[in-house]
Amino acid sequence: MAVCASENGSNGKLEFVLKVPFPTEREAGIALQSLSPDPEPRKGGITKNMDVSGQTLSVRWTADEARILRVSVSSFLDHLSLVMETLDAFGSPVSQ
């Protein structure tokens, strides 16, 4: 799992990037679909973009405040953990 956090000096926004490798592209896609329906509860101050490239799920947050960023990332990690535990419990999905 690769993580990068930085402050973009030009606009003062905080940025956090998380890359999560999965055993297969299919599992990465399932994780993306499972985690995508959860929009950010707050309308302003934070954005979250997710995509899959190969077997890697990438998530990028941009926020105005560290507190908002922390809460969003923490909540996402809780959901990601549940998705990963579920994939592990049911085994590798069969391709269709």
Count of domains in the chain? Answer: 1
9 pLDDT above the threshold of 70: no
**CATH number of domain containing 73:** 3.30.310.50
The pLDDT score that the predictor gives to residue 44 is: 76
Say if pTM beats, i.e. exceeds, 0.85: no
- Residue 95 located in a structural domain: no
pLDDT digits (tens, 9 = 90+) for 17-59: 999 999 999 999 999 999 987 665 666 789 999 999 999 999 9
Beta strands in 9-92, from DSSP E residues, in sequence order: 13-21, 46-53, 56-63
74 pLDDT above the threshold of 70: yes
- Residue 6 located in a structural domain: yes
Show the domain range for 56. Answer: 2-90
44-70: buried (b, 16+ CB within 10 Å) or exposed (e) per residue?
A: eebebeeebeeeebbbebbbeeeebbe
The pLDDT score that the predictor gives to residue 28 is: 96
81 pLDDT above the threshold of 80: yes
